[in-house]
Amino acid sequence: MSYIQNFMEQLNNHAVDLKQMQIEHKIQDAHIAQYKPLTDQIIELMKSTPPQLLNRPWSMAELVARLDGKYRDRPHAQNVGKALRIIGWNYRRYWSKGYNGTRLWLPPAF
């Protein structure tokens, strides 16, 4: 194989890699464009939850598992906590048996 043919093959491989990266970048941009703020997601989650299940303490793990992140599948707990405070949620640590100091979040109407 000549030097020019080898160079052309490498150039074609590089072009294919760049095209794949461009496609992945467009998919990521589309996901970011569809992203709803966490406050809106939490409000929608609470509206879709039956009243019997709504007025109870919620753990951060429960909330994070039900929300969508901006850059990843799930949001960071710190960002969820900020959104909860904006909406009016409060947290409390539960020290009774079985909780061991777990921080649980209480909805505004609790």
- Is the confidence at residue 30, as pLDDT, over 60? no
- The 3-class SS string of 12-64 reads HHHHHHHHHHHHHHHHHHHHHHHCCCHHHHHHHHHHHCCHHHHCCCEEHHHHH
What is the CB neighbour count within 10 angstroms for residue 42? 23
Segment 33-85, tens digit of pLDDT: 578 899 999 999 999 988 888 888 999 999 999 999 888 889 999 999 999 99
pLDDT tens-digit map of 15-27: 777 777 777 766 5
Which tokens is 88 given? 């009016």
Question: What is the pTM (predicted TM-score) of this model?
Answer: 0.66
Say if residues 46 and 54 touch (Cβ distance below 8 Å). yes
What integer pLDDT is reported at residue 98 of this predicted model? 81
What rounded mean pLDDT belongs to the chain? 84
